């Protein structure tokens, strides 16, 4: 009786082992399970050289991609706005430089048009100014240091 039981259980255990091995090979080895809520996986980070929102995705999940292949298209509206702002800043700066050049040319023309003056070595102590209403006298001795102003 004991031999019959062993002969009957041995093929059943062998068939159960073959069935389990076949299911593991075909199905169970692809199933992921965890006891601590961590699953190991391979992740590849993709970082573009510019920032922006994704406009169009040209690759599918788990698709094989090659080097240089376009994966997604970034919306260029933010980039175009930044470029327009930079161009406006450049134009403003160029206009400012041109304004200063024009001012410098104007001042140089005014200097060139001014008649040459001879500057006396020593100012006279008394100056006389004649106008249609009369003659005025000016004397440096009458000026006080607190009332004198410096011209620039």
pLDDT score recorded for residue 147:
47
- 67 DSSP 8-state letter: T
Enumerate residue ranges in the chain where pLDDT < 50.
146-150, 152
Classified as helix, coil or strand, 46 is coil
- Domain extents in the chain: 77-114
Question: What are 95's two structure tokens?
Answer: 């206009």
Q: What is the pTM of this model?
A: 0.39
HSE (CB half, 13 Å, CA atoms) of 112? Answer: 6
- 92 DSSP 8-state letter: H
- 37 DSSP 8-state letter: S
Question: What are 117's two structure tokens?
Answer: 């003056």
pLDDT score recorded for residue 101:
94
């Amino acid at each position: 009786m004991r031999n019959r039981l062993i002969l009957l259980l041995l093929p059943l255990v062998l068939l159960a082992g073959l069935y389990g091995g076949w299911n593991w090979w075909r199905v169970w080895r692809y199933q992921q399970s965890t006891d601590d809520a961590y699953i190991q996986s391979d992740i590849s980070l993709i970082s573009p050289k510019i920032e922006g929102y994704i406009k169009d995705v040209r690759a599918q999940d788990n698709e094989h991609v090659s080097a240089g292949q376009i994966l997604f298209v970034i919306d260029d509206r933010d980039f175009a706005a930044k470029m327009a702002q930079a161009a406006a800043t450049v134009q403003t700066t160029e206009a400012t430089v041109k304004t200063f050049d024009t001012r410098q040319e104007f001042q140089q023309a005014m200097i060139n048009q001014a008649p040459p003056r001879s500057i006396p070595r020593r100012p006279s102590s008394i100056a006389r100014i004649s106008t249609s209403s009369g003659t005025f006298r000016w004397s440096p001795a009458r000026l006080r240091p607190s009332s004198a102003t410096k011209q620039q």
